[in-house]
Structure 1
Amino acid sequence: MKQHSLTLYELNELVRETIEVSMPDEYWVEAELSDVNDRGHCYMELIQKDESSKTPIAKARAICWKTRWQYVRSHFESVTGQPLHAGLKVLLKVKATFHEAFGFSYNISDIDPTFTLGDMARRRQEIIRQLQEEGVFDLQKELVIPLFAQRIAVISSETAAGYGDFCSQLDNNEYGFVFHPTLFPAVMQGEQVEQSVISALNAINERVEDYDVVVIIRGGGATADMSGFDTLSLAENVANFPLPIITGIGHERDESVLDMISNTRVKTPTAAAAFLIDHLARVYARITGAQDVLLDLVSRRMEHKRMRLSHLAEKIPALFRLFRMRQESRLDILMRNFVSKAQGKLESQGWRISAREVSVSTLVGRLLEKRRQQIILLEEKLRLMDPRLMLRRGYSITLYNGRPVKDVKCLSSGDEIETRVANGMIKSIIK
């Protein structure tokens, strides 16, 4: 006997009625998003993977109608800080529906953002734990930003307002410092963030000697997609990078894994520029402080040398007088010794004195005259050696660093010299 057949529409209608009768309630369902298509209404592809093999074991379509989607999307993004995208785990409130023409799907009435936050937190903690086990979590923190960090490799979207703000802040800094930023364009939102930023890092690494630091920046507020900055592969690349990395990815709600692993984290691109400017300003302050200390030290040393030279100049006449007195005293002693010996000789040999009185008297006279002439010559030499006499004659002594200048080749433009004349001292600058 031939069985009664149904049309496809009749069968689908029967399925719809069966689902409506047997599953009239809404259900909270855990699933992973494999695709999200926002076209007014939001169409989603749901998937569940095996925990061990990660192969799909269940798939389904879901839709959130436009009138409900506006609220659901706004609430989810305000809580999680990012839009729905592929790869997120979500907790959906759905009702099973079947349409004769379009088939089976789930009608979404609500999404619990706290479930997604929990899953994101668990995934983030797992990445942090793995980085710590690998011993690379704090590698960036061990790098020191160079004193003169002016050659900057920038990873950002070329059209992002944040990149323009960053460059403008550097160019218009109040100190007049000159920075040299070089852009390495990258996708900073969506699923391509990870691979795009890694590619930019690889390009910088090929020219690593040309840069002092790397800055990763993006614009955007709390609703921007940040999931691309919470990946293990990107974190490992940043952690092992040879240059200090500064992040300013414009996310004020929570730190991303990229923020945690970087050398320095700031909130926005302009804050990253301000950090670099302040860093160079601190270095400049250290240099000017050291310059002041050095100038003060040199001034004190020069003053000490100047006082010592002045003291020696004052002692020169006294030294000449002392030398003359010592020579005259020596001559007096020699004369007394000579007279004494001569008298003794005369007394012991009186008879010979009488015989040679004339010759001895002549000899003594000549000797005395000779000694007197020696004294006169010594006095004249001493007088001629007196620097004050030379100065009074119009001569001068030129000193550089406390020493007489004997060759002009030892002087350079800008050197300070001292010229001592009879009644004072003149300071000059060599032009």
Structure 2
Amino acid sequence: MPEEVYSVSEITADIRESLEDRFHEVWVEGEISNYRLPGSGHHYFTLKDASAQLACVLFKGAASRNPVKLGDGVQVQVFGNVSVYEARGQYQLIAQLVQPKGFGDLQAKFEALKRKLDSEGLFDPAKKVPLPVFPQTIGVVTSPTGAAIRDMLNVLERRAPWVRVIIHPARVQGEGAAEEIAAGVAAFDQMEAANRPDLVIVARGGGSIEDLWAFNEEVVARAIAACSIPVMSGVGHEIDFTIADFVADRREPTPSAAAENATPDGATVRRHLEILATALQTRASDSINRRMRTAESLRRELEAREPERRIQNWSQSLDYLGERLHGIVDTKLQRAQSEFQMVSRMYSAVQPEREIRVRREEIASFRDSLSKQVDRSLADRAYALHAMKELLRSLSPEAVLQRGYSMTLDEKGKLITSTDQIKSGDKLRTRLSDGEVSSVAE
């Protein structure tokens, strides 16, 4: 008789414990096959290579933290623990993390280039150039057909309609994309002073690390670092970081955020300029009035002094003060006029007259439409009222009499509807359409 006999459950449990102790937190690489996603939300698949296969399960909770899209034929690296599904006696890998095959290589390449460029000082905050407060021209290096450029143009049109946007088309992923992005940055930097932008933005929408890799290439980083124009990056989503973000003078989490923060809000600027213009006019007026009062006071004092010499001295001083006053007034008026012209130009760029004209046209159109609806509604109600009137008239007792019928009433005016209501000798009245006839029942 054997010294120890295991039950199936016992030997399976021992095997599970051995596997979990031996293969705890391991990485396994292979190709997904037999992928299934039932209603429970758990992902089941087989990981295989040329010689073997391994059953895997990615439970719903862990799957929510893994952005990689699973499917048959996808090459992946899976991190997890080897265990046993005791009901079937099958060993399996309980996955905690799934990433594309080669992701680790890309991350290592990213970190190596980051350390290299950092050691050369390309990320030094002291080298970053402040962005212009009021850029007049913005150059954008991105795909001309992507959603990113449409979002950016919408934001810029809303916030700063006076800004001129120059788009340098470039592929933003795939082979040759990095070289096109770098060439776009360099092209803006080499433009003539009259046409070159005040700010350059490199941008693209979100994606995987492979999709964003063009912005991690050294050629792009060095083009941004060499650009004499301030460069802003707006690549991917908030959680995405690229080498271009570290080199750029300013990093924004998305293309839309880059457009939002590249310019001031036009409506706010307009209100601020209007306040400044009012303040300048008030200060100029106050200064003129103050100096005019001083001149008048001096004039009265001169008239009160009798000696001719003192009058001459004061007269000369008055001439001098008058010249200074005119000079100060002219200077302040010229400055106020210049600032007012600047406010006018900014105000004209917003074009409030066009907005008012459009709103007036909308109001006129709405008023005409409402008037037509009211007229139509009144006509419909008048027609319905006329039809109801005709119906009521046709059902009235007079209309019934007109059709040849009659009504017989007793002495009290009560309608006779049956012979049982009449006795011999009763006086009756019969109403016809054109009068009444009296009679006596026999």
The alignment's TM-score, normalised by the length of structure 2, stands at 0.46
Higher relative contact order (CA 8 A, sep 6+): 1
Larger radius of gyration, structure 1 or 2?
1
Return the TM-score normalized by structure 1.
0.47
